[in-house]
Amino acid sequence: MPEKEQYIDNFAEVIHKKSDCRSNQLFKGVIDNKAVSVFTGKVYVAKNAQKTDSAQSNQNLLLTDSAKAYSRPQLEIYADDVACSHGSTTGQIDKEALFYLKTRGIPEQRAKTMLTKAFLRDVTDKINVENYRDYVNFLISRRLKGQSAESLCMVKVCPSCS
């Protein structure tokens, strides 16, 4: 969730060397102000890695017209019998969904926060450790309320901040 003029560069590489491998990657970004997010992901499937099943997705939500997201998903496949996919989407908050919430009496900023949390939910719901999932959702909520990323560690809710 970069903000201001922050630059975030994410790189992920998955190497499948044996048969019957599985991987599923979902990277999501919420980019604000004049921030830039870059995602480069590579899935490599070796010749002997038959029956590999791999999916890679990068989805970005731009909160301003100045925010930028660059996505470079890559597949390098040397096996014949595989099911591999990759994809990328970048967009802004759905204006129809925002309108719908506003017509139900929800203020615009609250509606944008709700839609942004919904966008991130399929990632946060996969966090199996409940305390960590709650902590990540707490950080997301604080960030969406305008608290800068630099000051979030001052909240002192995790062991590394105490």
**Residues above pLDDT 70, as percent of the chain:** 91
Q: Which helix (H) or strand (E) holds 111?
A: helix 108-124
Cα-based distances in Å from 69 to 34, 37, 77, 137: 10, 5, 26, 22
Same-domain check for residues 31 and 77: yes
pLDDT of 132 over the 60 cut: yes
Same-domain check for residues 146 and 106: yes
Classify burial at 13, counting beta carbons within 10 Å of its beta carbon; exposed 0-12, middle 13-18, buried 19 or more.
exposed
Give the CA count within 13 Å in the CB-facing half-sphere of 59. Answer: 12
Q: Quote the pTM value.
A: 0.85
- Tell me the per-residue pLDDT of 27-51, one tens digit each, with 9 for 90 and over: 999 999 999 999 999 999 999 999 9
Same-domain check for residues 100 and 84: no
What range defines the domain where residue 98 resides? 93-153
End-of-domain residue from the set 45, 63, 92: 92
